[in-house]
A = this chain, B = another copy of it.
Amino acid sequence: MGSSSKTLPVERWNRIREALKTERVVRVVDLCRRLGVSSATLRRDLEELEARGELHRVHGGAVAVDSRLDEPVFEDKAEMAAREKHRIAEAALRRIASGWTVYLDGGSTVLNLARELRTRKDVVVVTNSLRAAMELAGEGPRTILVGGELRRLSQTLVGPLTRYVLDALQFDIAFMGTMGISPDGTITTTEPAEAFTKEWVLGRAHQVVLLADRSKYGKVAFARAGHMKDVDVVITDRGLSAEWRRRLRTWSVQLVEV
Protein backbone atom coordinates (compact mmCIF):
# COMPACT_ATOMS: atom_id res chain seq x y z
CA MET A 1 0.00 0.00 0.00
CA GLY A 2 1.10 3.56 -0.29
CA SER A 3 4.04 4.41 -2.42
CA SER A 4 7.33 3.61 -0.67
CA SER A 5 7.05 0.60 1.63
CA LYS A 6 5.83 -1.96 -0.81
CA THR A 7 8.55 -3.91 -2.53
CA LEU A 8 8.40 -6.05 -5.57
CA PRO A 9 9.30 -9.74 -5.31
CA VAL A 10 12.21 -9.29 -7.63
CA GLU A 11 13.59 -6.62 -5.38
CA ARG A 12 13.35 -8.93 -2.39
CA TRP A 13 15.07 -11.65 -4.36
CA ASN A 14 17.96 -9.37 -5.00
CA ARG A 15 18.30 -8.69 -1.32
CA ILE A 16 18.28 -12.42 -0.68
CA ARG A 17 20.95 -12.94 -3.35
CA GLU A 18 22.99 -10.21 -1.78
CA ALA A 19 22.74 -11.66 1.71
CA LEU A 20 23.63 -15.08 0.38
CA LYS A 21 26.61 -13.74 -1.47
CA THR A 22 28.15 -12.05 1.53
CA GLU A 23 27.09 -14.46 4.23
CA ARG A 24 27.08 -17.74 2.32
CA VAL A 25 24.50 -19.11 4.72
CA VAL A 26 21.17 -17.54 5.66
CA ARG A 27 18.49 -18.48 8.16
CA VAL A 28 14.82 -18.25 7.44
CA VAL A 29 13.97 -16.57 10.74
CA ASP A 30 16.76 -14.06 10.27
CA LEU A 31 15.79 -13.06 6.77
CA CYS A 32 12.14 -12.79 7.76
CA ARG A 33 12.88 -10.01 10.17
CA ARG A 34 15.44 -8.33 7.96
CA LEU A 35 13.14 -8.25 4.97
CA GLY A 36 9.98 -7.66 6.97
CA VAL A 37 8.02 -10.50 5.46
CA SER A 38 6.44 -13.63 6.79
CA SER A 39 8.20 -16.95 6.82
CA ALA A 40 5.75 -18.29 4.27
CA THR A 41 6.71 -15.62 1.76
CA LEU A 42 10.35 -16.11 2.34
CA ARG A 43 10.02 -19.85 1.91
CA ARG A 44 8.28 -19.28 -1.38
CA ASP A 45 11.13 -17.04 -2.45
CA LEU A 46 13.75 -19.54 -1.46
CA GLU A 47 11.82 -22.27 -3.23
CA GLU A 48 11.73 -20.15 -6.33
CA LEU A 49 15.42 -19.35 -6.21
CA GLU A 50 16.32 -22.96 -5.60
CA ALA A 51 14.33 -23.96 -8.68
CA ARG A 52 16.48 -21.54 -10.62
CA GLY A 53 19.57 -23.11 -9.14
CA GLU A 54 20.68 -19.95 -7.39
CA LEU A 55 20.85 -21.47 -3.95
CA HIS A 56 20.49 -24.71 -2.08
CA ARG A 57 17.86 -25.13 0.60
CA VAL A 58 18.67 -26.74 3.91
CA HIS A 59 16.65 -27.21 7.03
CA GLY A 60 16.31 -23.81 8.68
CA GLY A 61 17.66 -21.75 5.83
CA ALA A 62 19.65 -21.85 2.63
CA VAL A 63 23.26 -21.93 1.44
CA ALA A 64 24.88 -20.59 -1.68
CA VAL A 65 25.17 -23.25 -4.37
CA ASP A 66 28.91 -22.85 -4.78
CA SER A 67 29.66 -23.03 -1.11
CA ARG A 68 32.63 -25.25 -1.59
CA LEU A 69 35.25 -25.11 1.10
CA ASP A 70 37.59 -23.14 -1.08
CA GLU A 71 35.19 -20.27 -1.48
CA PRO A 72 36.12 -16.74 -0.43
CA VAL A 73 34.38 -16.25 2.91
CA PHE A 74 35.44 -19.49 4.45
CA GLU A 75 38.87 -19.18 3.02
CA ASP A 76 39.07 -15.79 4.66
CA LYS A 77 38.19 -17.11 8.06
CA ALA A 78 40.31 -20.21 7.84
CA GLU A 79 43.09 -18.27 6.23
CA MET A 80 43.03 -15.69 8.99
CA ALA A 81 44.01 -18.23 11.63
CA ALA A 82 46.21 -19.95 9.08
CA ARG A 83 48.09 -16.75 8.39
CA GLU A 84 48.86 -16.32 12.07
CA LYS A 85 50.19 -19.83 12.18
CA HIS A 86 52.09 -19.25 8.99
CA ARG A 87 53.77 -16.17 10.42
CA ILE A 88 54.64 -18.04 13.58
CA ALA A 89 56.11 -20.82 11.45
CA GLU A 90 58.17 -18.34 9.45
CA ALA A 91 59.58 -16.79 12.60
CA ALA A 92 60.39 -20.27 13.86
CA LEU A 93 62.15 -21.11 10.61
CA ARG A 94 64.46 -18.13 10.99
CA ARG A 95 65.75 -19.48 14.27
CA ILE A 96 67.14 -22.62 12.68
CA ALA A 97 70.82 -22.44 11.76
CA SER A 98 72.40 -24.44 8.97
CA GLY A 99 73.37 -27.96 9.88
CA TRP A 100 71.23 -28.18 12.96
CA THR A 101 69.22 -31.16 14.06
CA VAL A 102 65.63 -30.05 14.50
CA TYR A 103 62.90 -31.80 16.44
CA LEU A 104 59.30 -31.26 15.44
CA ASP A 105 56.54 -32.04 17.88
CA GLY A 106 53.00 -32.98 16.87
CA GLY A 107 50.32 -30.31 16.70
CA SER A 108 48.86 -28.12 14.01
CA THR A 109 51.06 -25.09 14.67
CA VAL A 110 54.21 -27.11 14.34
CA LEU A 111 52.85 -28.77 11.21
CA ASN A 112 53.06 -25.41 9.48
CA LEU A 113 56.73 -25.31 10.32
CA ALA A 114 57.20 -28.72 8.75
CA ARG A 115 55.74 -27.33 5.55
CA GLU A 116 58.15 -24.40 5.65
CA LEU A 117 61.05 -26.72 6.23
CA ARG A 118 60.62 -28.32 2.83
CA THR A 119 62.87 -25.61 1.44
CA ARG A 120 65.61 -26.16 3.99
CA LYS A 121 67.82 -28.99 2.81
CA ASP A 122 70.62 -27.96 5.16
CA VAL A 123 69.20 -29.43 8.34
CA VAL A 124 68.11 -32.77 9.72
CA VAL A 125 64.55 -33.10 10.94
CA VAL A 126 63.46 -35.53 13.61
CA THR A 127 59.80 -35.88 14.49
CA ASN A 128 57.25 -38.10 16.15
CA SER A 129 54.45 -36.70 14.02
CA LEU A 130 53.22 -38.78 11.13
CA ARG A 131 51.65 -35.70 9.60
CA ALA A 132 54.90 -33.76 9.74
CA ALA A 133 56.66 -36.73 8.17
CA MET A 134 54.08 -36.80 5.40
CA GLU A 135 54.69 -33.13 4.74
CA LEU A 136 58.36 -33.87 4.29
CA ALA A 137 57.87 -37.18 2.50
CA GLY A 138 57.84 -35.66 -0.97
CA GLU A 139 60.76 -33.31 -0.74
CA GLY A 140 62.76 -31.58 1.92
CA PRO A 141 65.61 -32.16 4.34
CA ARG A 142 66.75 -35.48 5.71
CA THR A 143 63.90 -36.67 7.86
CA ILE A 144 64.00 -39.12 10.70
CA LEU A 145 60.87 -40.50 12.29
CA VAL A 146 61.19 -41.73 15.83
CA GLY A 147 59.62 -45.10 16.47
CA GLY A 148 56.68 -45.81 18.67
CA GLU A 149 53.05 -46.70 18.87
CA LEU A 150 50.78 -44.87 16.49
CA ARG A 151 48.24 -42.74 18.32
CA ARG A 152 45.25 -42.52 16.01
CA LEU A 153 43.74 -39.26 17.18
CA SER A 154 46.87 -37.16 17.09
CA GLN A 155 48.67 -39.17 14.41
CA THR A 156 51.80 -39.15 16.50
CA LEU A 157 54.16 -41.80 17.75
CA VAL A 158 54.29 -42.22 21.51
CA GLY A 159 55.01 -44.76 24.20
CA PRO A 160 58.01 -46.55 25.65
CA LEU A 161 59.54 -47.31 22.26
CA THR A 162 59.48 -43.63 21.45
CA ARG A 163 61.30 -42.83 24.64
CA TYR A 164 63.78 -45.57 23.88
CA VAL A 165 64.56 -43.97 20.55
CA LEU A 166 64.65 -40.43 21.90
CA ASP A 167 67.21 -41.54 24.44
CA ALA A 168 69.59 -42.18 21.56
CA LEU A 169 69.13 -38.74 20.07
CA GLN A 170 69.57 -35.13 20.96
CA PHE A 171 68.58 -31.98 19.20
CA ASP A 172 69.98 -28.55 18.60
CA ILE A 173 66.51 -27.13 18.70
CA ALA A 174 63.06 -28.53 19.44
CA PHE A 175 59.79 -26.94 18.36
CA MET A 176 56.89 -27.83 20.55
CA GLY A 177 53.18 -27.17 20.42
CA THR A 178 50.77 -27.21 23.31
CA MET A 179 47.09 -27.23 24.07
CA GLY A 180 47.46 -24.74 26.88
CA ILE A 181 49.77 -22.80 29.16
CA SER A 182 48.40 -22.43 32.67
CA PRO A 183 49.06 -19.27 34.73
CA ASP A 184 51.55 -21.15 36.89
CA GLY A 185 53.58 -22.07 33.81
CA THR A 186 52.51 -25.66 33.40
CA ILE A 187 52.33 -26.76 29.77
CA THR A 188 49.43 -29.10 29.23
CA THR A 189 47.97 -31.27 26.51
CA THR A 190 45.02 -33.63 26.33
CA GLU A 191 46.82 -36.89 25.86
CA PRO A 192 48.92 -38.25 28.74
CA ALA A 193 51.10 -40.46 26.55
CA GLU A 194 51.76 -37.53 24.31
CA ALA A 195 52.43 -35.24 27.23
CA PHE A 196 55.00 -37.66 28.50
CA THR A 197 56.75 -37.74 25.16
CA LYS A 198 56.78 -33.95 25.00
CA GLU A 199 58.31 -33.63 28.42
CA TRP A 200 60.95 -36.17 27.52
CA VAL A 201 61.92 -34.21 24.45
CA LEU A 202 62.35 -31.05 26.52
CA GLY A 203 65.26 -32.70 28.29
CA ARG A 204 66.96 -33.75 25.08
CA ALA A 205 67.04 -30.44 23.23
CA HIS A 206 69.68 -27.79 23.56
CA GLN A 207 67.10 -25.11 22.84
CA VAL A 208 63.35 -25.43 23.26
CA VAL A 209 60.98 -23.22 21.28
CA LEU A 210 57.29 -23.23 22.08
CA LEU A 211 54.92 -22.24 19.30
CA ALA A 212 51.71 -20.95 20.87
CA ASP A 213 49.18 -18.58 19.44
CA ARG A 214 47.30 -16.22 21.73
CA SER A 215 44.47 -18.66 22.35
CA LYS A 216 46.70 -21.01 24.29
CA TYR A 217 47.46 -18.66 27.18
CA GLY A 218 45.44 -19.47 30.28
CA LYS A 219 44.06 -22.65 28.78
CA VAL A 220 44.58 -25.79 30.80
CA ALA A 221 44.26 -29.27 29.33
CA PHE A 222 44.38 -32.56 31.12
CA ALA A 223 47.95 -33.76 31.19
CA ARG A 224 51.15 -32.00 32.20
CA ALA A 225 53.68 -31.87 29.39
CA GLY A 226 56.36 -29.85 31.10
CA HIS A 227 56.95 -26.40 32.55
CA MET A 228 57.73 -23.06 30.98
CA LYS A 229 61.00 -22.96 32.90
CA ASP A 230 62.25 -25.64 30.51
CA VAL A 231 61.33 -23.50 27.53
CA ASP A 232 63.83 -21.04 26.09
CA VAL A 233 61.74 -19.18 23.53
CA VAL A 234 58.05 -18.65 22.93
CA ILE A 235 56.78 -17.52 19.53
CA THR A 236 53.35 -15.93 19.66
CA ASP A 237 51.12 -13.71 17.60
CA ARG A 238 50.73 -10.15 18.82
CA GLY A 239 48.50 -9.00 21.61
CA LEU A 240 49.81 -10.73 24.70
CA SER A 241 48.76 -9.06 27.96
CA ALA A 242 51.27 -7.33 30.22
CA GLU A 243 50.46 -9.88 32.86
CA TRP A 244 51.59 -12.73 30.64
CA ARG A 245 54.71 -10.85 29.57
CA ARG A 246 55.63 -10.49 33.21
CA ARG A 247 55.07 -14.17 33.81
CA LEU A 248 57.26 -15.14 30.84
CA ARG A 249 60.04 -12.97 32.25
CA THR A 250 59.70 -14.77 35.55
CA TRP A 251 60.28 -18.07 33.81
CA SER A 252 63.23 -16.64 31.83
CA VAL A 253 61.46 -17.22 28.56
CA GLN A 254 62.35 -15.07 25.59
CA LEU A 255 59.21 -13.76 23.93
CA VAL A 256 59.04 -13.41 20.16
CA GLU A 257 55.97 -11.71 18.76
CA VAL A 258 55.15 -11.92 15.08
Contact = CB atoms under 8 A, between A and B. Distances in A.
Interface of A: 1, 4, 6, 8-11, 14, 17-18, 21-25, 27, 29-30, 58-61, 63, 66-67, 69, 74, 77-78, 81-82, 108, 111, 130-131, 133-134, 136-139, 142-150, 152-155, 157, 159, 161, 164-165, 168-169, 190
A244 to B, nearest CB: 22
A114 to B, nearest CB: 12
A155 B21 contact: no
Given A130-B133, A143-B150, A148-B145, A4 B18 contact: no
Given A6-B29, A58-B153, 5 more contacts: A24-B108, A27-B153, A134-B134, A138-B152, A143-B150
The CB with the most chain B CB atoms within 10 A, among A67, A78, A150, is that of A150
Given A21-B69, A149-B144, A153-B25, A8 B58 contact: yes
A117 B244 CA distance: 49
28 contacts: A4-B27, A8-B59, A8-B61, A9-B59, A9-B60, A10-B25, A10-B58, A14-B67, A14-B74, A21-B69, A22-B82, A22-B108, A24-B131, A25-B155, A27-B153, A58-B152, A58-B153, A59-B152, A130-B137, A130-B145, A136-B150, A137-B152, A138-B152, A143-B149, A143-B150, A144-B147, A147-B147, A161-B168
A139 B81 CA distance: 28
A27 B10 contact: no
A155 B60 CA distance: 13
A144 B165 contact: no
A150 B154 contact: no
The CB with the most chain B CB atoms within 10 A, among A4, A8, A154, is that of A8
A147 B146 contact: yes
Contacts of A8: 25, 27, 58-61
Nearest to A66: B134
A168 B167 CA distance: 14
Contact of A6 (B27, B145, B148, B169): B27
Contacts of A69: 14, 17-18, 21
A120 to B, nearest CB: 15
A154 to B, nearest CB: 6
A150 B144 contact: yes
A23 B108 contact: yes
A148 B150 contact: no
A136 B27 CA distance: 25
